[in-house]
Each structure stands twice: as structure tokens, then as C-alpha cells.
């Protein structure tokens, strides 16, 4: 039918949009433009199994060559989008090419927030495959690392560094870094996990400066303490890749601002997908931007539906879901734990490494759940999160899962 959809970004959001479009019967032309030189690859393992070496490079591929052929998608690698002409429906690339489109998918993702502290060398970020390759090589040749940032990426890097036997310290200005997501009482269990794995935590303490060179770095903390190390990894969040949209006239505010159908504000044929999209969440009733793998996949499916069914648009109202691997904990989080006002921890007496934290909002309704080493508990609770339920409902389900209970 002569329609052409152009996708900017071939990470999980862009790739899954292409797959979902074909799955939902889109017959037009598809073209993906990606700034990185690599075929689509997956990012969550870069701070987990791929960094420790338990997961090989082949397991990172998001699509095979054969699948790219089946999808009948054109792929341009190693070329950045330069600018967007909304009125002309035309995308300009940095190599000078101009591409006309009927639909545009903005899936340009985020990049690691740059380190505000610069030493001569030895200070690493972790976002891309190339970052991970370089960090992995350096971890294997180092004795000690300081990780700046106690969020999920920082904690995963600390765990990977312990896997290689390094002395590990982790620094974060918050007293309980994971408390931002799970509340301080549950967050403290994650701090304890670092200690159980011989990682020194310097929480409630910022970084003043990083000086020296690889193999001989000094991290100066705001309380004056000095940490010596071979290597520093800075994991302090991410920044949306929206510079190429700056002159487009589209609304950019901490990401591409989209409506509840994931359409760029005021546009019928430009959609945001994944980490870069800040859309109006109909249930949360505010603009949100979510840097989770599952969000990119679900948003891709929603956008594909809205492109193939313009007269039957679906609003995008997902239940957030994210996982993290830290040491011997497989952590899964669903819902809006950060907004909870109360929580209950359910422990499995037969397994000290397994528990669930169930969260309630200010009116006592179930609003989120975190589990450690307990996938069945997670899915039972997660399925309840798109409707209103008293907190007793997930709690009863969890109690039924405990050994010695019926069911």
C-alpha cells in the first residue's frame, strides 16, 4: 500500500516495534536506522551475565540474520539521525541522506549519564556493548574497583566485580540507594546483601573528585575519605537521546513527550517507544518515562497496534516490571513500589534467600511487589496489579504458596 515506516534506533524498542508491526500484519516498507555499528543486541545482560562471562555474545542477539530477512526490514547501521522535518515527513541522517516516511518511530533510547568527574583514564561508564567489552577486560585485569552509584546498574557491576574476585567499594549519596525504589526498610536488605558479599558500602556519601590514572586512582568522597582503586565505574543514570529532535518543534522534556497512545504531542504519525519516550500514563495520570526492557517491548506492541489500527487506538497503561541479578539474588519488581505508603514482607521459612515485599498505597490498595528468588510469587502478584485489589489478596496468595500450606 506504499506506506513506509522508519524506525530510529535498533535496540529493544525499535527492534520489537518492527517485529510487532509484521506480527500485526503491517505490509508497508520498514527501515531501521541505528547509530551503533552492531546488529540489534540486548542490553540487560551487559551488566549481568555478559559482564561475568556466563552468557556468550551469541545470546545477546535480538534478531538473527534470517529473521531480518523474514521481516523484510532495511537496516542502516552506524549512522545517526541528524534532524527531523515534521511538516515534510522527512528524516535527515548525518551521512546526508534524507528519508521520507509515513510513520516515524522514535526509539533512540538513552545514553549513560557522563561522569562529572574525570581522571586521566580508568573511569568507565556502562551502557553499550562496547562499554561492556572494555569494562569486562579491565575488571579481569584489576584488583580493586570503586562503583559510583548504588542503583541497579551499580549493584550489578559490584556483583560482577566480586565474581572476578576484586575488592569492591560502592558509593552513593543516598543512605539507602535501593530505598528510592523499594522504601528504606526493604532497601536496607539490599545494602546488607553487599556486605554479605564483602563489598564495602559508602552510602550517604557523594563523590568530590576522581584523580589519578588507571591502576592508581583515588576517589575522594564528600566527607573527605579517600578510596584507592584500579578502576572506577560510574553508574548514575541515563540521558535521553533527543538532540536530533531539538529543531523538529516536537515537545522535548526529559524525553520525547507523547500522548496516551504514544504519539508525539500533536502528531498522528510520529510515535515514541522505549527509554526515550515520556508518555501520558492514563492510570498514573502523569507523564512517565521508564527505562525498563519490558516497557520497551510492551510499548512497541502498543505502537504497532496503533499504526495498524488507526481507527481503534489503544491507550498505553502498562504495569511497570523490572528485574535485576545481584550476587545470588534474582530480583523482580512490579507495579509502583516507589509510591507505596505501607508494605508487608513475606518470608519463605524453607529458603532464607527468598522473600516477597508487598506494597500498599495510601488507601490500602495493593500497588506493587518485589520478590527475591521467587518467580512464582511474582507472577501471582503481578497479575493483580492492573486492577484494584486490597493488599490482603496478594498476601493470601503468597501464604498459599508457602510450604505446608494447601494449594
Partner 1 sequence: MPVIKADLDLCQGYANCVMEAPKFFDISDDGVVVVLQEEFAEENRAKVEAAVRSCPVSALRIEE
Site residues (CB under 8 A) for partner 1?
A: 16, 19-20, 23-24, 42, 44, 59, 293-294, 297-298, 301, 321, 323, 330, 332, 373-376, 378-379, 382-383, 401
**Of 395 and 402, CB closest to partner 1:** 402
Query: To the nearest whole angstrom, how small is the minimum distance from the Cβ of residue 20 to partner 1?
Result: 7
C-beta of residue 376 within 8 angstroms of C-beta of residue 389: no
9 Rama class: left (phi>0) / alpha (psi -120 to 50) / beta:
left
Query: To the nearest whole angstrom, how small is the minimum distance from the Cβ of residue 312 to partner 1?
Result: 14
- Collapsing DSSP to helix, strand or coil, 21 comes out as helix
Please give the Cα distance from 170 to 154 (Å, whole number).
8
Please give the Cα distance from 102 to 269 (Å, whole number).
7
Query: To the nearest whole angstrom, how small is the minimum distance from the Cβ of residue 139 to partner 1?
Result: 23
HSE (side-chain half, CA atoms, 13 Å) at 117? 24
Which residue do the cell numbers 488507526 mark? 310
**Of 56 and 266, CB closest to partner 1:** 56
Query: To the nearest whole angstrom, how small is the minimum distance from the Cβ of residue 57 to partner 1?
Result: 14
What per-residue string of b and e applies to 74-88 under the rule 16 or more CB within 10 Å gives b?
ebbeebbbbbbebee
**Of 362 and 383, CB closest to partner 1:** 383
Backbone torsions φ then ψ of 281, nearest 5 degrees: -85, 115
**Of 293 and 359, CB closest to partner 1:** 293
Query: To the nearest whole angstrom, how small is the minimum distance from the Cβ of residue 283 to partner 1?
Result: 16
Query: To the nearest whole angstrom, how small is the minimum distance from the Cβ of residue 374 to partner 1?
Result: 7
**Of 186 and 385, CB closest to partner 1:** 385
**Of 217 and 369, CB closest to partner 1:** 369
Give the count of beta carbons closer than 10 Å to the beta carbon of residue 262. 27
Amino acid at each position: 500500500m506504499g506506506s513506509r515506516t522508519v524506525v530510529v534506533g535498533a535496540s529493544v524498542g525499535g527492534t520489537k516495534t518492527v517485529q510487532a508491526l509484521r506480527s500485526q500484519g503491517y505490509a508497508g516498507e520498514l527501515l531501521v536506522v541505528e547509530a551503533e555499528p552492531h546488529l540489534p543486541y540486548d542490553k540487560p545482560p551487559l551488566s549481568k551475565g555478559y559482564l561475568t562471562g556466563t552468557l556468550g555474545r551469541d545470546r545477546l542477539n535480538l534478531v538473527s540474520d534470517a529473521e531480518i530477512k523474514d521481516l523484510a526490514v532495511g537496516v542502516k547501521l552506524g549512522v545517526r539521525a541528524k534532524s527531523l522535518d515534521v511538516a515534510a515527513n522527512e528524516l535527515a541522517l548525518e551521512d546526508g541522506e534524507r528519508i521520507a516516511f509515513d510513520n516515524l518511530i522514535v526509539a533512540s533510547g538513552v545514553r549513560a549519564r557522563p561522569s562529572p568527574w574525570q581522571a586521566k583514564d580508568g573511569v568507565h561508564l556502562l551502557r553499550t556493548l562496547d562499554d561492556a567489552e572494555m569494562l569486562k577486560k579491565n575488571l579481569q585485569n584489576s584488583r580493586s574497583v570503586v562503583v559510583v552509584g548504588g542503583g541497579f546498574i551499580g549493584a550489578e557491576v559490584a556483583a560482577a566485580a566480586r565474581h572476578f574476585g576484586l575488592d569492591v567499594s560502592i558509593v552513593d549519596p543516598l543512605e539507602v540507594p535501593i530505598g528510592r525504589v523499594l522504601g528504606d526498610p526493604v532497601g536496607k536488605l539490599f545494602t546488607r546483601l553487599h556486605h554479605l558479599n564483602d563489598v564495602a558500602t559508602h552510602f550517604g556519601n557523594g563523590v568530590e573528585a576522581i584523580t589519578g590514572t588507571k591502576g592508581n586512582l583515588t576517589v575522594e568522597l564528600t566527607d573527605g575519605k579517600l578510596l584507592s582503586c584500579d578502576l572506577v565505574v560510574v553508574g548514575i543514570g541515563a540521558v535521553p537521546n533527543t538532540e536530533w529532535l531539538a529543531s523538529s518543534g516536537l515537545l522535548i522534556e526529559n524525553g520525547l513527550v507523547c500522548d496516551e497512545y504514544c504519539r508525539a504531542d500533536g502528531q498522528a504519525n510520529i510515535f515514541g517507544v522505549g527509554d526515550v519516550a515520556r508518555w501520558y500514563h492514563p492510570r498514573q495520570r502523569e507523564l512517565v518515562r521508564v527505562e525498563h526492557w519490558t516497557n520497551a517491548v510492551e510499548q512497541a506492541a502498543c505502537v504497532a497496534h496503533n499504526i495498524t489500527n488507526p481507527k481503534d487506538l489503544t491507550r498505553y497503561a502498562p504495569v511497570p516490571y523490572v528485574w535485576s541479578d545481584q550476587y545470588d539474588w534474582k530480583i523482580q519488581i512490579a507495579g509502583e513500589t516507589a509510591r507505596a505508603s505501607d508494605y508487608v514482607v513475606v518470608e519463605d521459612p524453607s529458603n532464607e534467600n527468598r522473600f516477597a515485599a508487598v506494597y500498599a498505597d495510601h488507601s490500602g490498595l495493593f500497588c506493587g511487589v518485589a520478590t527475591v528468588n521467587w518467580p512464582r510469587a511474582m507472577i501471582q502478584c503481578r497479575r493483580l496489579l492492573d486492577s484494584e485489589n486490597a493488599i490482603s489478596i496478594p498476601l493470601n496468595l503468597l501464604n498459599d504458596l508457602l510450604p505446608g500450606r494447601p494449594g
